[in-house]
Amino acid sequence: MRQFVKNFPLLALVVITLAGTATVEAATGLNPPVKLIWHYYNNTCHDAERFIRHEVEKFYENDTTIAPKLLRLLYSDCMVNGCDASVLLQGPNSERTAPQNRGLGGFVFIDMIKQVLESYCPGVVSCADILNLATRDAVHMAGAPSYPVFTGRRDGGALNKDAVDLPSPSISVEESLAYFKSKGLDVLDMTTLLGAHSMGKTHCSHIVNRLYNFKNTGKPDPNMNTTLVSQLRYLCPPRTQKGQTDPLVYLNPYSGSRNEFTNSYYSRVLSHNAVLGVDQELLNNDDSKEITQEFAIGFEDFRKSFALAMSRMGSINVLTGNAGEIRRNCRVTNANYAA
């Protein structure tokens, strides 16, 4: 038997037993050095986490899409320059204007939470921590575990859009794994975090190559279920004209239309019904394939692994102590802030 064992403070021991004989290297905790603290704001803004949760609950009642929107927003922040809320900054060449970040949402919601906290404890709670905590609470309402979020992040400065290195959704599993490893994450983190594609949508332009001209063959991707090809071709016509509309389609029609966090993503990968190429590629690596098989039948295994993977991603290159700043407005640095 092979086991992925992960040990994490304040989380029960996660043990996922998989069939087979190979051993996969999996992390045993957060990426060192970890400088974040459990309930960091207890003495400076005691009810900060409660205020954030309350705002999330109010917003979620009217708009459940906030869960996938915040998940993508957090991923786009942490995986580029670390979790420093740089993606929230506005500007003509800002990070959020990069082609890979087209369609990002949730900005207004983070602004609303920031305004609430500024009225209670001005200049105390970082935008980076708000984004991490709000995402945790939103996806928990969608069905994910309420994992612990260690806090004490500070906000970073602006990045140019050219600094955004988020990969194409059509890359191979080897390229995807190399990217995650460059951020200090492993194959279990990668396979787990891609499971967030149980929710959300993607533009047709990201999948037309799989539908009509896979690897310049003039044919659809042979690894895509033919029924799915037909369904998506109906929604995504060939891109033949400049300025053509670029519709959105669900990454997972089963759960995506309800914005529910489920493990059905993995069953869809196994049945060759993944919409994105990077998701279907999980079957082309022995380790990610075996993890996919386990998560397809073990929702609790997936939920436990998701808790740790999100915490590990949330610790990437964080700014703490005297580094960075605590923005008064999440859209601008304090140097550009006008009250």
User: Residues with catalytic annotation?
Assistant: 72
**Is residue 63 part of an annotated ligand binding site?**
no
Q: Is 131 helix (H, G, I), strand (E, B) or coil?
A: helix
**Is residue 116 part of an annotated ligand binding site?**
no
**Is residue 167 part of an annotated ligand binding site?**
yes
- Pairwise CA distance, residues 35 & 140, whole Å: 25
**Is residue 222 part of an annotated ligand binding site?**
no
**Is residue 99 part of an annotated ligand binding site?**
no
**Is residue 237 part of an annotated ligand binding site?**
no
- Pairwise CA distance, residues 186 & 145, whole Å: 21
**Is residue 86 part of an annotated ligand binding site?**
yes
CA distances for 130 relative to 49, 54, 107, 113, 190, angstroms = 8, 13, 11, 8, 24
**Is residue 197 part of an annotated ligand binding site?**
yes
Residues contributing to the annotated binding site: 77, 80, 82, 84, 86, 95, 167, 197
Which positions make up the binding site for heme b? 197
